[in-house]
Amino acid sequence: LPTSTLTVTPDNPVFTGETVNLKCVIESHSDWRYEWYKDTDSVMLQTSDRYTVNKNTLTIRGATESDQDQYWCKGQRDGRPKSSQSSSKVSLTVT
């Protein structure tokens, strides 16, 4: 399966109130639907007023200590392969 790579901008640690971008890059193919996970509960993150998704980037606005966790992403698509591998988990530190 294609691999997924998750990167975080700005570099850790981020400060409370900052905007954080998590970018999921999947090798090969296009037309991925990106899924975002947070390790506390391992359920897919839902968008909200603070969590927005634009293509392959998840933006966290106004970071708080509750955002400090491990995140990972994966892709789903209609064709084959239907999914990518999950990315490695990336730790977000908020100070």
Q: What is the pLDDT of residue 3?
A: 97
Among residues 26, 6, 23, the alpha carbon closest in space to that of 82 is found at 26
Q: What is the pLDDT of residue 19?
A: 98
Distance CA 76, CA 13 (A): 30
* pTM of this structure: 0.92
Distance CA 74, CA 91 (A): 16
Q: How many CB atoms lie within 10 A of CB 67?
A: 19
Cis omega before residue 10 (within 30°)?
yes
22-43 per-position pLDDT tens digit? 999 999 888 999 999 998 778 8
Q: What is the pLDDT of residue 30?
A: 84
Are 84 and 1 a contacting pair, CB within 8 Å? yes
Q: What is the pLDDT of residue 61?
A: 98
Q: What is the pLDDT of residue 42?
A: 80
- The average pLDDT across 61-69 equals 97
Tokens representing 73? Answer: 């992403």
pLDDT of 77 over the 90 cut: yes
Beta bridge partners of 40: none
